[in-house]
């Protein structure tokens, strides 16, 4: 990948420094204390076969050497710095600064394969009804590739995919290129969400536009112990997931009956997971509230009924059942 990056350097510099340039794609990269992996991400952008792009790198208040790394890439884009406000706010600043018809997202921990943008921009140009194109994504854990998402999950077909997306997110941020018109029509990321702000936006887009899926691996995401989602308390993570879906329900008023049912079941499942977590931590009263929320949205949710029944067991009996389950799981 680095050899390809070097061969593209001259062409990339010519495009990015042209006085009348209007780049086709803006690549948005939020960075926060990303010194160990940021250069890899940036080099993967410079290695793209599709070079009609601009880099927008937003340092979200880093306290390490991230700003110095961004300076090294200043020939290829303008590095900006802001007070720490989270990745959604950083992405918003970059999007508002750009004028490109297409926006691509890449996080500092992740990287692209060289043909990513070329493949995806072609899909968007050929299909004006498609608002967002994504691809398969490989996972890197502890320095080792551990497979791709679509290896273990059925690949969705291109089209109206709201119901499929509500049942389970198959869109990963570093695989996404979105049409600017979508963002102008539907708004940007919801900055009030601690996590799931990306899933929230993908669903809002899927409610109005077609989604295209390129079934090949075009990006690699690295699972890091210090990653944002892994550092958030489970309660906040689960609450944010519920809020993300409830927001979709409140703002998407053109959903079909099937889409509404899929969304209600997705919300019910999030309440069930939250209630199960609370029950496991001993917060029985709070658990019953969340399990009741799940059943209100999906009365046939058998597991929620079972957990609700378990919540009324004497504490000693519940503890013994939990220990037996762990022992024989």
What is the 8-class DSSP label of residue 194? S
CATH number for the domain that contains residue 156: 3.90.550.10
For residue 20, the model assigns a pLDDT of: 41
Does residue 298 share a domain with residue 176? no
Q: What is the pLDDT of residues 24-44, one digit of tens each?
A: 999 999 999 999 999 999 999
Percent of the chain with pLDDT over 70: 87
292 falls within a domain: yes
- Give me the domain span that covers residue 266: 256-328
Asked whether residue 244 is domain-assigned, the answer is no
Query: Helices (DSSP H) in 136-283: which residue ranges?
Result: 162-167, 180-186, 197-206, 234-251, 257-280
Dmax of the chain from CA atoms?
Answer: 74
| Residue 138 backbone phi and psi in degrees, to 5 | -85, 155
Of 231, 266, 297, which one is at a domain's C-terminal end?
231
- pLDDT at residue 129, as a whole number: 97
Say whether pLDDT at 298 is over 90. Answer: yes
Residue 13 resides in a domain: yes
Predicted local distance difference test score (pLDDT) of residue 12: 59
CATH number, domain containing residue 286: 1.25.40
180 is a domain residue:
yes
Instruction: Say whether pLDDT at 228 is over 50.
Output: no
As for how many domains the chain has, the answer is 2
Q: Please report, for the chain, how many H helices and E strands are present, in that order.
A: 13, 9
In this predicted model, what pLDDT tens digit does every residue of 260-295 receive, in sequence order? 999 999 999 999 999 999 998 989 999 999 999 999
Query: Comparing C-alpha atoms, which of 192, 214, 174 is closest to residue 86?
Result: 192
């Amino acid at each position: 990948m680095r050899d390809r990056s070097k061969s593209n350097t001259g062409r990339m510099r010519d495009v990015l420094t042209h006085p009348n340039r209007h780049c086709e794609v803006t690549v948005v990269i939020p960075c926060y204390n990303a010194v160990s992996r940021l250069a890899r991400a940036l080099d993967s952008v410079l290695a793209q076969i599709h070079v009609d792009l601009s880099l927008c790198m937003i340092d979200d208040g880093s306290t390490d050497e991230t700003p110095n790394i961004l300076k090294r890439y200043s020939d290829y884009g303008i590095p900006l710095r802001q007070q720490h406000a989270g990745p959604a706010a950083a992405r918003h600043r970059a999007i508002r600064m750009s004028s490109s018809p297409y926006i691509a997202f890449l996080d500092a921990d992740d990287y692209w394969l060289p043909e990513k943008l070329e493949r995806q921009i072609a899909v968007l140009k050929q299909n004006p009804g498609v608002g967002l194109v994504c691809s398969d994504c490989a996972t890197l854990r502890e320095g080792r590739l551990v497979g791709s998402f679509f290896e273990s999950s059925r690949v969705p077909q291109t089209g109206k995919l709201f119901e499929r997306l509500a049942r389970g997110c198959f869109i990963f941020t570093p695989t996404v290129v979105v049409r600017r018109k979508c963002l102008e029509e539907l708004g940007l990321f919801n900055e009030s969400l601690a996590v799931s702000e990306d899933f929230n936006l993908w669903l809002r887009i899927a409610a109005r536009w077609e989604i295209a899926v390129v079934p090949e691996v075009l990006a690699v995401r690295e699972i890091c112990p210090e990653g944002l989602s892994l550092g958030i308390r489970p309660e906040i993570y689960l609450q944010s997931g519920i809020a993300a879906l409830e927001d979709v329900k409140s703002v998407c008023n053109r959903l079909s009956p099937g889409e509404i049912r899929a969304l209600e079941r997705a919300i019910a499942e999030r309440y069930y997971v939250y209630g199960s977590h609370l029950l496991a931590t001993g917060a029985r009263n709070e658990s019953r509230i969340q399990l009741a929320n799940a059943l209100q949205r999906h009365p046939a949710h058998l597991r929620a009924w079972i957990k609700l029944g378990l919540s009324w067991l004497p504490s000693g009996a519940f503890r013994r059942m939990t220990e037996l389950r762990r022992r024989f799981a």
